[in-house]
Amino acid sequence: MDFFDEKNKEFEKRTLPIEPIELYYSFDKQNDYSILRPAQEEVLKKWHHQRGSNNVLIKMNTGAGKTLTGLLMLYSKMLEFKKPVVYLCPDRQLVAQVIEQSKMSGIPTCEVDVNRDFPEEFLNAEAILIATVDRMFNGKNIFDRDRIVPIAILLDDAHRIVQRVIDSFTIKISENHSLYSDLFKLFKDDLKRQSVGSYEMLKEGGNGCYMKVPYWAWFDKKESVNALLVQYTQEKETLLFKWDLFHNNYEQYELFFTHNKLEISPELCYVKNISAYNNATYKYALSATFVNDHAILKDLDFSIESIMNPIIPTDRKDYGERLILAPKRYYPQISQESEISILNHHLDNGHNVVVLVPNRRAAELWEALEAVIVDKENIEDIIHKLKTSKGNCVVFINRYEGIDLSGDSCNVLVIHDHPKFKSLKNIYYEDVHHETSANYVAQTIEQGMGRSVRSGNDFSVVYLMGRYLLKFLRYRDNHKFFNDYTQKQIRMGLDLMKDKEFDDNNVEKIITSAADACLAQVDGWKTYYRNFMDTQVLDESTSKELKLEINKLEKESVFSFINKEYTNAERKVHEILKKDIDPVQKAWYNQVLGGYTYQMDKDRSNDYQIKSKSLSNRMLEPFMGKNQWKKQVTQPQVKKSLEFIKSFDTSNDVLLFISEIQNDLIYVEDLSTSESFEEALKNLGVLLGFESSRPEKESGEGSDVLWGSENYNLILEAKSNKKSQNKISKANLGQLSTSVSWFNGKYLTSADLYAVTLQPNGSKEDKLGVEKNMLVMDQKNLDKLHDSINKLYTFVSTTKNHLITEEQLQQEFIRYNLNDKAFIQQYLNVIK
Share of the chain above pLDDT 70, in %: 93
Amino acid letter for position 101: Q
| pLDDT value at 48 more than 80 | yes
The residues near 781 (Cβ < 8 Å, ≥ 6 apart) are 762, 826, 827, 828, 829
At CA 447, angle to CA 441 and CA 451, rounded to 5?
145
**Interatomic CA distance for residues 612 and 589, integer angstroms:** 8
pLDDT in tens, 383-415: 899 999 999 999 999 887 778 787 888 999 999
**Interatomic CA distance for residues 66 and 68, integer angstroms:** 6
| pLDDT value at 700 more than 80 | no
| pLDDT value at 259 more than 70 | yes
Looking at residue 226, its pLDDT comes to 97
Task: Report which secondary-structure segment, H or E, holds 287.
Answer: strand 282-287
Looking at residue 628, its pLDDT comes to 63
Q: In this structure, are residues 513 and 496 in contact, taking their beta carbons and an 8 Å threshold?
A: no
At CA 514, angle to CA 368 and CA 386, rounded to 5?
45
| pLDDT value at 361 more than 50 | yes
| pLDDT value at 539 more than 70 | no
pLDDT in tens, 154-211: 999 898 899 899 999 999 999 999 999 999 999 999 999 988 888 888 888 767 788 9
At CA 294, angle to CA 289 and CA 298, rounded to 5?
125
Share of the chain above pLDDT 90, in %: 64
| pLDDT value at 542 more than 80 | no
Amino acid letter for position 382: I
Name the most confidently modeled range: 191-195, 297-301, 480-484: 297-301
pLDDT in tens, 622-638: 998 766 666 666 689 99
Sheet holding 372-374, edge to edge: 321-325, 459-465, 412-416, 353-357, 393-397, 372-374
**Interatomic CA distance for residues 573 and 562, integer angstroms:** 14
Task: Report which secondary-structure segment, H or E, holds 460.
Answer: strand 459-465
Task: Report which secondary-structure segment, H or E, holds 775.
Answer: strand 774-777
Task: Report which secondary-structure segment, H or E, holds 272.
Answer: none
Amino acid letter for position 135: R
453: left (phi over 0), alpha (psi -120 to 50) or beta: beta
pLDDT in tens, 412-434: 999 999 887 678 888 888 777 65
**Interatomic CA distance for residues 57 and 283, integer angstroms:** 9
Looking at residue 601, its pLDDT comes to 95
> How many Cα neighbours within 13 Å face the side chain of 179?
24
The DSSP secondary-structure symbol of 671 reads: G
Q: In this structure, are residues 606 and 640 in contact, taking their beta carbons and an 8 Å threshold?
A: no
Please list the alpha-helical segments (H only) found in 374-451: 379-388, 424-432, 434-449
Model pTM score: 0.83
The DSSP secondary-structure symbol of 204 reads: T
Burial 723-747 (b: 16+ CB within 10 A, else e): eeebbbbeebbebbebbbebbeebb
3-state SS, residue 459: strand
Domains of the chain and CATH, by start:
11-167+274-308 (3.40.50.300), 176-259 (no CATH), 320-422+430-479+500-530 (3.40.50), 544-616 (1.25.40), 637-830 (3.40.91)
Tally DSSP H helices, then E strands, for the chain. Answer: 38, 24
> How many Cα neighbours within 13 Å face the side chain of 489?
22
Looking at residue 362, its pLDDT comes to 87
- What number is the average pLDDT over the span 527-556? 82
**Interatomic CA distance for residues 364 and 360, integer angstroms:** 6
What's phi and psi for 368, nearest 5 deg? -65, -20
Which residues make beta-bridge pairs with 210? 258
Least confident of 364-378, 457-471, 556-570, 779-793: 364-378
**Interatomic CA distance for residues 554 and 559, integer angstroms:** 9
Mode of pairing for the β-strands spanning 629-630 and 705-708: unpaired
Band the pLDDT of 6: cuts 50, 70, 90. Answer: low
Mode of pairing for the β-strands spanning 705-708 and 712-718: antiparallel
**Interatomic CA distance for residues 532 and 45, integer angstroms:** 30
Please list the alpha-helical segments (H only) found in 349-412: 360-367, 379-388
Mode of pairing for the β-strands spanning 459-465 and 321-325: parallel
At CA 558, angle to CA 552 and CA 562, rounded to 5?
145
**Interatomic CA distance for residues 636 and 448, integer angstroms:** 41
Amino acid letter for position 200: E
Band the pLDDT of 447: cuts 50, 70, 90. Answer: confident
The DSSP secondary-structure symbol of 316 reads: -
pLDDT in tens, 718-758: 998 888 888 999 999 999 999 999 999 888 888 999 999 99
Amino acid letter for position 464: L
**Interatomic CA distance for residues 609 and 595, integer angstroms:** 9
Looking at residue 44, its pLDDT comes to 96
Band the pLDDT of 290: cuts 50, 70, 90. Answer: low
Give the Å distances, CA to CA, from 601 to 274, 395, 559, 591, 596: 32, 56, 20, 14, 10
